[in-house]
């Protein structure tokens, strides 16, 4: 009998916990108009460093916005939820945000898989979603409710290809990370490079988490391409550059904007000297908007903001400006329309406009190279 | 282990009508209570609160109940530590997704097909690995799980690799479409309950005793005339079949799947559900799944410390309840008494064996 009671109690406790969890989600409405933006990001787990940057940048932008008085008669708040970079959690969060009638728009998630898992729900339930980083080609095709503030590799690849060709280099080997983003980076660059008359000598994939590139390097170097194009993140990029130096290979490196981080130089030291990349954001940019952001971020969080923090800062800015445009009586529908009408938003990642049909962002990229242990803007080819 | 206490006072059912009657009454009471929670209380809570969040959690929980109950069958009952369960979940999900998006097959076909395809892979994996014991088998399943994950990630022509598969149609049966969250939950719950019932009949029977015997000492079981290798293969195939079913449910309820849904950590999560609930205990596996899905959601409001709190709770639960929340012995006794699956004995005696 005692064991029955224990079982019954366990069952009761679990059901109770489920009900309590919902009760938390449906708290009473405040009398004043409070507009809430949901922000889902990996705040714990493997990718938490990105979520942390997003949250930091979002807080700065939100305070600036509320202090600016752009939106009279309402106050905007951001609710953060931790998705752990897990599609299962992202679906739960999507429904949690949908249940909250104060939430008119959502920013996030970080990776494309997780953004799309939640995106399927936002598309079906009509909630505007703006991801600062999801670059999957299908993301904005889910529905008219999806937006992103990152130029995809379909834009960046041909841009870099033009740059390399203009520098008089005709053959390239591509090393890419084996995930959705890596494949789109490969496709974007290869098609752009071939269209300009360049020749691809090799394309080599590696699995996420791999840190040993010696066999790939040896194989690729044998064909003597003019450049090696890296489609990867800074951790792998630094390891790649170091192993290239150890093997004595002198072929110049070009890379995707994802390599752009102070950590690349910190980890790769002299080996990353001469690496070229084009990026939307550089903390050295003399633009006052960029300098205000960089100073504020460094003062608060004791680190220089990278591209990811800047993307989030602008994503929040675009979302908040759309809220201001839609006015204090903003709804999910009117916010979507206001977002779709975004033209020339003056952000720190370049002026951003959304294409009215595809909802893809267009931005101007800055050409950079690593010189004397720091990223410097390159003028000319 | 107090699993199968021989009882000389065993009596046929017919000679003890009052005991049998009360047993049947209790059996109905518990069955009704469990069905009332799954099909009464939870739907009522979803409708009452109008919360789609609750519905989503309930769907995820039901899918993980199937995963945890099926892993318990092979790891808890038969004692084969498998740490690649998520891979079979993935095979089922991809099978259902591809069959429905590429060939346009209806849910009534994709659901069993997903289970059968996962079971086929389970069978192929089981053939060479069944002679491995303890940690060696675990490492083999770890390797196979990773292999399957890498194939899902890299076989771009078929799986679309990391791009995942989009536009998987929702659950549909003979023209009835589960397009609201509540109906989706009900469809998943019916299938989950059916799966748990099948696993219950397999585990709580003399067949289940044979599995427990080979777990305790496979050489001894072999010498008693039990076909050890065949039983091991069967238990693995059954477990992978149900993992495939769970995968099909995920595919049809979430519309989008990608290899990231089936990472190694997912296998570990399922294993944690089984261990926290009680290794070898089917009710424990169900409670473990509930616990491990609901707890992180219930703790959302505490913010950054959420996963620390989840970890601490798991640690404490294993420290204080090393046999799990519902230990195997307790669970078997409970099933025998409360579902009257054991033979009735003289008043007050321990029920034994299985009906």
| Highest-pLDDT range among B88-92, B180-184, B216-220, B292-296 | B88-92
Q: List the domain range (segments joined by +) for residue B37.
A: 17-338
Q: Which residues of B touch A87 (CB under 8 A)?
A: 254, 256, 258, 260-261
Distance between CA B241 and CA B53 in Å, rounded?
29
Per-residue model confidence as pLDDT tens digits over A217-275: 999 989 999 999 999 988 899 999 999 999 999 899 999 988 888 888 999 888 999 99
Assign B348 a pLDDT band (cuts: 50, 70, 90).
Answer: low
Residue B347, domain member (yes or no): no
**Residue A7 to residue B156, Cβ atoms within 8 A:** no
Per-residue model confidence as pLDDT tens digits over A9-52: 554 555 455 444 444 444 434 445 889 999 999 998 888 889 99
- Six-digit token string for A284: 């050295």
Q: Judge whether A199 and A171 are in contact, CB under 8 Å.
A: yes
- In our burial notation (b when 16+ CB lie closer than 10 A, e otherwise), range A74-109 reads bebebbbbbbbbbbbbbbbbbbbbbbbebbbbbbbb
Assign B8 a pLDDT band (cuts: 50, 70, 90).
Answer: very low
Of B328, B325, B299, B326, residue with least CA distance to B312 = B299
| Burial tier of A372 (Cβ tally within 10 Å: 0-12, 13-18, 19+) | exposed
Residue A7, domain member (yes or no): no
Per-residue model confidence as pLDDT tens digits over A225-239: 999 999 998 889 999
Task: Give the model's pLDDT for residue B275.
Answer: 92
- Percentage of residues in chain B with pLDDT exceeding 90? 46
> In chain A, what is the straight-line distance between the N-terminal and C-terminal CA atoms, in Å?
82
Chains A & B: contacts with CB separation below 8 Å: 144
Residue B222, domain member (yes or no): yes
Name the 3-class secondary structure at B346: coil
Residue B240, domain member (yes or no): yes
Distance between CA A280 and CA A350 in Å, rounded?
6
Q: Judge whether A173 and A229 are in contact, CB under 8 Å.
A: yes
Assign B24 a pLDDT band (cuts: 50, 70, 90).
Answer: low
The whole-angstrom distance between B216's CA and the closest CA on chain A is 25
Assign A115 a pLDDT band (cuts: 50, 70, 90).
Answer: very high
Residue A12, domain member (yes or no): no
Average pLDDT, chain A: 86
Residue B344, domain member (yes or no): no
Give yes or no for residue B11 having a pLDDT over 80: no
The CATH number of the domain holding residue A306 is 3.40.50.2300
The domain tally of chain B equals 1
Residue A21, domain member (yes or no): no
Mean pLDDT of A157-172: 91
Q: Which residue has the higher pLDDT, A119 or A22?
A: A119
Residue A115, domain member (yes or no): yes
Mean pLDDT of B42-53: 88
Mean pLDDT of B82-102: 94
Interface membership of B177 toward A (CB under 8 Å): no
**Residue B307 to residue A180, Cβ atoms within 8 A:** no
> In chain B, what is the straight-line distance between the N-terminal and C-terminal CA atoms, in Å?
21
- Percentage of residues in chain A with pLDDT exceeding 90? 46
Distance between CA A178 and CA A57 in Å, rounded?
29
The domain tally of chain A equals 2
Rama region for B162: left / alpha / beta (φ>0; ψ in -120 to 50; rest): alpha
Last residue of a domain, one of A279, A307, A327: A279
Assign A300 a pLDDT band (cuts: 50, 70, 90).
Answer: very high
**Residue A91 to residue B254, Cβ atoms within 8 A:** yes
The CATH number of the domain holding residue B314 is 1.10.3470
Q: Are residues A64 and A145 in the same domain?
A: yes
Name the 3-class secondary structure at A37: strand
Give yes or no for residue B20 having a pLDDT over 70: no
Q: Which residues of A touch B333 (CB under 8 A)?
A: 3
Residue B69, domain member (yes or no): yes
Interface test with A, best of B29, B40, B163, B184 (most A CBs within 10 A): B163
Mean pLDDT of B60-85: 94
**Residue A18 to residue B52, Cβ atoms within 8 A:** no
Give yes or no for residue B71 having a pLDDT over 90: yes
Q: List the domain range (segments joined by +) for residue A252.
A: 153-279
Task: Give the model's pLDDT for residue B28.
Answer: 80
Distance between CA B255 and CA B101 in Å, rounded?
10
Task: Give the model's pLDDT for residue B172.
Answer: 86
Residue B223, domain member (yes or no): yes
Interface membership of B31 toward A (CB under 8 Å): no
- Six-digit token string for B161: 């690799």
Residue B33 CB contacts under 8 Å (≥ 6 apart), including other chains: none
Residue A13, domain member (yes or no): no
Per-residue model confidence as pLDDT tens digits over B274-317: 999 999 999 999 999 999 999 888 888 887 788 888 889 888 98
Helices (H), chain A: 2-25, 48-68, 87-99, 112-125, 153-166, 180-195, 214-222, 234-246, 262-268, 288-301, 307-326, 332-340
Distance between CA A116 and CA A139 in Å, rounded?
6
Name the 3-class secondary structure at B171: coil
Distance between CA A55 and CA A75 in Å, rounded?
19
- A228 forms bridges with which residues in the sheet? A173, A253
Strand stretches in chain B, DSSP E: 172-173, 176-177
Give yes or no for residue A1 having a pLDDT over 50: no
Q: Are residues A76 and A224 in the same domain?
A: no
Residue B10, domain member (yes or no): no
Task: Give the model's pLDDT for residue B41.
Answer: 87
Q: Are residues A128 and A186 in the same domain?
A: no
Residue A3, domain member (yes or no): no
Give yes or no for residue B251 having a pLDDT over 90: yes
Q: Are residues A142 and A160 in the same domain?
A: no
Q: Are residues A132 and A228 in the same domain?
A: no
Angle at A141 between CA A137 and CA A147, to 5 degrees: 85
Interface membership of B53 toward A (CB under 8 Å): yes
Residue B227 CB contacts under 8 Å (≥ 6 apart), including other chains: none
Residue A319 CB contacts under 8 Å (≥ 6 apart), including other chains: A37, A105, A107, A130, A339
Give the range among A12-26, B16-30, B174-188, B223-237 with minimum mean pLDDT.
A12-26
Give the range among A286-295, B139-148, B184-193 with minimum mean pLDDT.
A286-295
Q: Tell whether omega for the bond before B111 is within 30 degrees of 0, i.e. cis.
A: no
- Strand A171-177 to A227-231 pairing: parallel
Give the range among A171-180, B11-20, B140-149, B199-208 with minimum mean pLDDT.
B11-20
Which ipTM was obtained for this model?
A: 0.81
Assign A380 a pLDDT band (cuts: 50, 70, 90).
Answer: low
Q: Which residue of A has its CA nearest to B154?
A: A178
Per-residue model confidence as pLDDT tens digits over B121-146: 999 999 998 888 778 999 999 999 99
**Residue B150 to residue A207, Cβ atoms within 8 A:** yes
Give the range among A193-202, A366-375, B336-345 with minimum mean pLDDT.
B336-345
Shortest CB distance from B294 goes to which of A17, A86, A114? Answer: A17
Q: Are residues A133 and A231 in the same domain?
A: no
**Residue B53 to residue A10, Cβ atoms within 8 A:** no
Q: Are residues A174 and A275 in the same domain?
A: yes
Q: Are residues A88 and A199 in the same domain?
A: no
Task: Give me the half-sphere count of Cα atoms (radius 13 Å) on the Cβ side of residue A380.
Answer: 1
Mean pLDDT of A289-315: 90
Give yes or no for residue A276 having a pLDDT over 70: yes
Residue A184, domain member (yes or no): yes
Task: Give the model's pLDDT for residue B285.
Answer: 94
- Six-digit token string for B253: 């309820």
Residue A235, domain member (yes or no): yes
DSSP labels for B58-95? HHHHHHHHHHHHHHIIIIIIS----S-HHHHHHHHHHH
Q: Are residues A86 and A58 in the same domain?
A: yes
Give yes or no for residue B15 having a pLDDT over 60: no
Q: Which residues of A touch B283 (CB under 8 A)?
A: 7
Mean pLDDT of A304-325: 91
Q: Which residue has the higher pLDDT, A9 or B186?
A: B186
């Amino acid at each position: 009998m005692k064991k029955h009671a224990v079982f019954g109690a366990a069952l009761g406790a679990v059901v109770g916990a489920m009900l309590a969890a919902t009760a938390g989600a449906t708290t009473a409405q405040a009398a004043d108009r409070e507009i809430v933006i949901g922000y889902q990001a990996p705040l714990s787990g493997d990718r938490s460093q990105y979520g942390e940057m997003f949250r930091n940048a979002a807080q700065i932008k939100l305070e600036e916005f509320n202090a600016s008085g752009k939106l009279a008669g309402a106050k905007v708040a951001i609710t953060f939820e931790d998705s752990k970079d897990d599609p299962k959690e992202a679906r739960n969060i999507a429904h949690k945000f949908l249940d909250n009638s104060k939430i008119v728009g959502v920013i996030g998630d970080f990776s494309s898989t997780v953004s799309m898992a939640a995106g399927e729900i936002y598309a079906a339930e009509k909630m505007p979603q703006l991801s600062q980083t999801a670059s999957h080609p299908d993301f904005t095709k889910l529905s008219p409710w999806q937006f992103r503030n990152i130029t995809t590799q379909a834009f960046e690849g041909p841009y870099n290809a033009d740059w390399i060709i203009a520098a008089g280099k005709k053959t390239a080997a591509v090393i890419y990370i084996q995930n959705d983003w890596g494949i789109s980076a490969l496709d974007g660059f290869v098609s752009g490079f071939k269209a300009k008359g360049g020749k691809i000598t090799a394309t080599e994939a590696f699995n996420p988490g791999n840190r040993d590139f010696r066999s790939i390097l040896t194989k690729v170097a044998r064909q003597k391409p003019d450049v090696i194009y890296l489609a990867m993140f800074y951790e792998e990029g630094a390891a790649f550059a170091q192993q290239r130096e150890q093997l004595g290979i002198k072929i110049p490196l070009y890379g995707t904007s994802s390599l752009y981080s102070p950590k690349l130089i910190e980890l790769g030291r002299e080996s990353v000297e001469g690496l070229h990349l084009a990026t939307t954001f550089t903390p050295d940019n003399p633009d006052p908007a960029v300098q205000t952001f960089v100073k504020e971020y460094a003062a608060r969080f004791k680190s220089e903001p990278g591209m990811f923090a800047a993307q989030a800062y602008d994503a929040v800015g675009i979302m908040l400006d759309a809220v201001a445009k839609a006015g204090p009586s903003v709804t999910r529908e009117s916010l979507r329309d206001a977002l779709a009408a975004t033209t020339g938003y003056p952000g720190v990642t370049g002026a951003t406009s959304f294409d009215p049909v595809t909802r893809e962002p267009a931005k101007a990229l800055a050409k950079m190279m690593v010189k004397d242990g720091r990223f410097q803007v390159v003028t000319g080819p | 282990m107090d699993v199968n206490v021989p009882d000389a006072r065993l009596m046929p059912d017919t000679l003890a009508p009052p005991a049998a009657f009360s047993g049947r009454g209790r059996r109905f009471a518990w069955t009704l209570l469990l069905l009332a929670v799954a099909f009464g209380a939870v739907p009522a809570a979803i409708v009452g609160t109008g919360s789609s969040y609750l519905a989503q959690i309930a769907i995820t929980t039901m899918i993980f109940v199937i995963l945890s109950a099926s892993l318990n069958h092979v790891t808890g009952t038969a004692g084969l530590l498998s740490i690649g369960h998520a891979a079979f979940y993935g095979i089922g999900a991809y099978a259902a997704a591809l069959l429905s998006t590429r060939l346009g097959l209806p849910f009534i076909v994709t659901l069993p097909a997903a289970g059968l395809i996962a079971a086929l892979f389970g069978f192929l994996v089981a053939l060479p690995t069944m002679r491995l014991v303890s940690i060696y088998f675990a490492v083999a399943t770890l390797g196979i799980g990773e292999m399957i994950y890498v194939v899902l990630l890299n076989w771009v022509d078929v799986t679309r690799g990391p791009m995942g598969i989009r536009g998987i149609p929702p659950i549909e049966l003979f023209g009835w479409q589960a397009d609201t969250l509540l109906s989706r939950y009900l469809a998943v719950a019916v299938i989950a309950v059916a799966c748990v019932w099948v696993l219950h009949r397999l585990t709580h029977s003399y067949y289940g005793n044979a599995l427990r015997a080979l777990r305790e000492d496979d050489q001894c079981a072999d010498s008693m005339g039990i076909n050890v290798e065949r039983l091991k293969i069967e238990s693995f195939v059954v477990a992978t079949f149900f993992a495939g079913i769970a995968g099909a449910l995920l595919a049809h309820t979430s519309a989008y799947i990608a290899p990231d849904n089936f990472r190694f950590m997912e296998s570990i999560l399922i294993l944690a559900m089984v261990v926290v609930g009680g290794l070898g205990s089917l009710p424990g596996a169900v409670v473990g799944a509930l616990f491990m899905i609901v707890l992180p959601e219930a703790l959302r409001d505490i913010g950054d410390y959420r996963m620390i709190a989840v970890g601490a709770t798991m640690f404490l639960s294993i420290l204080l309840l090393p046999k799990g929340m519902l230990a195997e012995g307790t669970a078997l006794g409970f099933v025998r008494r409360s579902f009257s699956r054991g033979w009735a004995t003289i008043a007050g005696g321990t029920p034994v064996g299985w009906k």
